[in-house]
Structure 1
Amino acid sequence: MHYENELIAAKKECKIYGNVESNLRDLPGITEHRFNQLQEIEAVLNYLNIQLRKIRRKHFQKYLEGYQRALTSRDAEKYVDGEDEVIDFETLINDVALLRNKWLGILKGFESKNFMLGHITRLRTSGMEDVSV
């Protein structure tokens, strides 16, 4: 929930408004802050994937060692994929991956903002002082 609220604020920061110079001045700090937040989300996603592997291994081992009849690895894998715990964890990972992708979009927005502000600055230096945003 915290990162979703931050995402709303970050979307507002992607917009170009006001003084071009202040936008250019603030952009590196904002980009660095938002990139660090993306890295935190990536770390959580990595942790969840590690936990999922641990859960899958536990269930896989249960089916290979504790099942009455001999199962192939492929059969055991199919059973593991149907476990509620595995499905719940994969759903959680999917939600975090969606959040990460939204944050990647924000960083693309900052790249675009930087590109546009750079071109506005070039236009001003070439004599087009009346450019407004």
Structure 2
Amino acid sequence: MNCISHHPFLHSSKPDSLLGGRKDIREHHQQPTNHLFARDFGNPTESLVPGLRCLRLEQLIDFCLIEYVTGRPQAIIYEGQDKNPEMCRVLLTHEIMCSRCCDKKSCGNRNETPSDPVIIDR
């Protein structure tokens, strides 16, 4: 966990026993453990502050996609099944990335495309 100096609300003066047994960040300053690598999305230009303890905060964010092409903001509604939210995300990504889906043509990918695509002849 990276404890950045400009986030004072993350710093804690509680003893390690109250923080679930977390060790002082100073112990990992010379040899970082697996949880101190770049995958924690810390800014690599900012350095760790020795001697500080920190708490990790996680937060879920809900958002909706808005279409501005029509001139007025309108939410884009997913028209597939709501049974599997992971597939909703895959479908949205696939439809944006696939050139055939962008042209409203069938691409042959049955797992990530609607079962009844609209095919436009030009």
More strand as a share of residues = 2
More helix as a share of residues = 1
TM-score bracket for the superposition, by shorter chain length = under 0.3
> TM-score under structure 2 normalisation?
0.22
Highest RCO, 1 vs 2 (Cα 8 Å, sep ≥ 6): 1
